[in-house]
Structure 1
Amino acid sequence: MNHDAPAGGGPRKRDVVSTHSVFGAPCWVSLTSRDLQATQEFYTAVLGWRWRGAKLGEHFRIALAQGVPVAGIAAVAAMWQMAVAWTPYFAVPDADVAVARARERGGTAAVGPLSFPPGRAALLADRDGATFGIWQGELVGNWEAWRRASPTFIRLHTRDAFDAALFYGEILDWASGVPGCCEVEYEGGEVVLRSQGDIVARIDSGALEAAPDPSVRPHWQIHFAVADVLDCARTAEKHGGSVLSEAEDEAILRDPDGAQFTVTSHRAR
């Protein structure tokens, strides 16, 4: 969810996009963690992020990449008994409708919808257990700048990509023909989601629902663009993280709390 809210009497009109006009696409990513200071130090070292406060309170921070808000950090995992994890949020015109659609199709609602001015949010799980969020309301800041700054895209590893695309499409109005919706294509054995021509998500088959390793179970993976993948991997290890897999253009990392994410070379975007 967007951990911030309008400041100074409200955002400037040109900086605001509404989920009523652009919807179904990823609009934010958020990390639940245990230790706010340690989390900030790790991601500053690995991704070069800077930080600012958030309107929701002392347990929340906004991550900045070159001055652009790119992610929210919520140090509430222990307090709210939530898993430590990165979660993508999708823009929707009506959070109540989206939650109802998810439940009707076998998904579950863990939190919300709740009011987080200037909008409303909910945390859901699809019918294979992958967690995601929805956001209704104003997208404060420049959405296009966020999409180009970070992340590169998000990828759903799931049991059946086609079945998952139907589930999310019916909730988020993908390929509905309504102005502002996302388009869905099938390319090279995976489902590709496009928003305004840009690839914003991919869905792959093959994850196992009951796998003992959570990285093999259905989940959304967040990809962040970096200049040097191998340097990020070494820095993550130096600061208490771990490397799950590594190649020249992409590495899957874990932060010290256990949250998994991917760093992808700018060249591979």
Structure 2
Amino acid sequence: MTEHSTAARAADATTSREIVGAPCWTSLLTHDLADAQSFYGAVFGWTFRPLRLGEGFCIALHEGRPVAGIGALASALGVPVAWTPYFAVEDADAAAARIRERCATVAVGPLRFPTGRAALAADRGGAVFGIWEGQLVSNWHSWRVDAPVRLRLRSPDAFDAAIFYGQVLDWACERPGCCDVGYEHDEVVLSQEGRVLARLGSGADDAAIDPADRPQWEVCFTVTDPEATVRQALLHGGSLVRHGDRHTRATTLRDPQGSVFTVAGRSKPRSAQLQ
């Protein structure tokens, strides 16, 4: 398969099968959907519409562009409120089995939804992530190009984490369109067709007193004015967790229900308005 045809396939991707291993979405599990919509609407200027996943789910939009999903399922699933990245898999059952085989945890699922199947898992360090088999959000390719969300794993050992995720998600498997793994500025870098999708860093401590220092996937939303966004978050009941370090240059916040997220400035202009 040529580079052009691989790029074309990614551009037209409609299911997880076509972009196996790539981050394909991020979602918030919360206790109260209305409160979450009120907070994030005020902080980011998001609007919301229902998702086909079922009652209690919505999609967050910024200027008509999809950003993330929110679901009021934390209580029903017995999991804490949290922002969680999802990675595309060809077969959710097979991926879940690989997770368990490597001494990690599948906490929930795979569960069936109207558009696919999902599971929540935790890697060997305890960082929570999701896997998704099925249809992608409409305009997924533009979502990736626009990069409204950045991902960074805080891990005890980035190289060990890269091996784990590579085995589970088929990173660097040499199949057409697979994700590449490299190294840059003391971090492992996940990319696809030259575009950075996620970074994996070392230094997290699973025994840390501060939960913010434990292994976790950081979900960072890029904004035009980070300082104003932080002020809005604090004004509407959020709290400051920490200011960014030299790697992330992002401010970490906690929403009123306890979910942690970060904000950072956009490094380049956004893509053109989706058609």
Q: Same fold (TM over 0.5)?
A: yes
Query: Structure 1: how far apart are the matches of 2:91 and 2:18?
Result: 12
Letter matched to residue 255 of structure 2 = D
Q: What's the secondary structure of 2:267's corresponding residue?
A: helix
Q: What's the secondary structure of 1:39's corresponding residue?
A: helix
1:158 and 1:204 in contact (8 A); partners too: yes
Is 1:187 the equivalent of 2:168?
no
1:87 maps to 84
Deviation at 1:165, TM superposition (A): 0.2
Is 1:44 the equivalent of 2:41?
yes
Q: What's the secondary structure of 1:79's corresponding residue?
A: helix
Equivalent residues in 2 for 1:206-217, closer than 5 Å: 206-217=203-214
Letter matched to residue 261 of structure 2 = F
Alignment partner of 2:127 out of 127, 130, 138: 130
Q: Kindly tell me: are residues 115 and 195 of structure 1, through their superposed partners in 2, closer, same or farther at Cα, counting changes over 3 Å?
A: same
1:147 maps to 144
Query: Structure 2: how far apart are the matches of 1:141 and 1:152?
Result: 16
Equivalent residues in 2 for 1:47-66, closer than 5 Å: 47-66=44-63
TM-score, normalised by the number of residues in structure 1:
0.90
Is 1:231 the equivalent of 2:228?
yes
Deviation at 1:15, TM superposition (A): 6.3
1:257 maps to 257
Higher strand fraction (1 or 2): 1
Query: Structure 2: how far apart are the matches of 1:86 and 1:78?
Result: 15
Query: Structure 2: how far apart are the matches of 1:205 and 1:268?
Result: 27
1:26 maps to 23
Deviation at 1:123, TM superposition (A): 0.7
Higher helix fraction (1 or 2): 2
Query: Structure 2: how far apart are the matches of 1:115 and 1:15?
Result: 24
Deviation at 1:78, TM superposition (A): 2.5
1:106 maps to 103
1:16 and 1:138 in contact (8 A); partners too: no
Q: What's the secondary structure of 2:135's corresponding residue?
A: strand
1:65 and 1:149 in contact (8 A); partners too: no
199-208 or 246-255, larger mean C-alpha shift: 246-255
Q: What's the secondary structure of 2:80's corresponding residue?
A: coil
1:118 maps to 115
2:109 and 2:119 in contact (8 A); partners too: yes
242-251 or 211-220, larger mean C-alpha shift: 242-251
Query: Structure 2: how far apart are the matches of 1:223 and 1:32?
Result: 16
Query: Structure 2: how far apart are the matches of 1:176 and 1:15?
Result: 22
* Residue ranges of structure 1 left out of the alignment (5+ in a row): 1-13
Deviations for 1:120-139, whole angstroms, at most 9, x for unmatched residues?
11111101111000011121
CA RMSD, Structure 1 to Structure 2 (Å): 1.8
Letter matched to residue 246 of structure 1 = H
2:52 and 2:114 in contact (8 A); partners too: no
Deviation at 1:203, TM superposition (A): 0.3
1:51 and 1:64 in contact (8 A); partners too: yes
Letter matched to residue 188 of structure 1 = H
Q: Kindly tell me: are residues 103 and 154 of structure 1, through their superposed partners in 2, closer, same or farther at Cα, counting changes over 3 Å?
A: same
Deviation at 1:268, TM superposition (A): 7.1
Q: What's the secondary structure of 2:77's corresponding residue?
A: coil
2:252 and 2:262 in contact (8 A); partners too: yes
Q: What's the secondary structure of 1:175's corresponding residue?
A: coil
Query: Structure 2: how far apart are the matches of 1:251 and 1:150?
Result: 17
Is 1:202 the equivalent of 2:216?
no
Deviation at 1:150, TM superposition (A): 4.4
Q: Kindly tell me: are residues 20 and 144 of structure 1, through their superposed partners in 2, closer, same or farther at Cα, counting changes over 3 Å?
A: same
Deviation at 1:201, TM superposition (A): 0.3
Q: What's the secondary structure of 2:42's corresponding residue?
A: helix
Deviation at 1:187, TM superposition (A): 1.0
2:266 maps to 266
Letter matched to residue 252 of structure 1 = T
Query: Structure 1: how far apart are the matches of 2:53 and 2:117?
Result: 13
Letter matched to residue 55 of structure 2 = E
Query: Structure 1: how far apart are the matches of 2:268 and 2:64?
Result: 23
Deviation at 1:21, TM superposition (A): 1.7
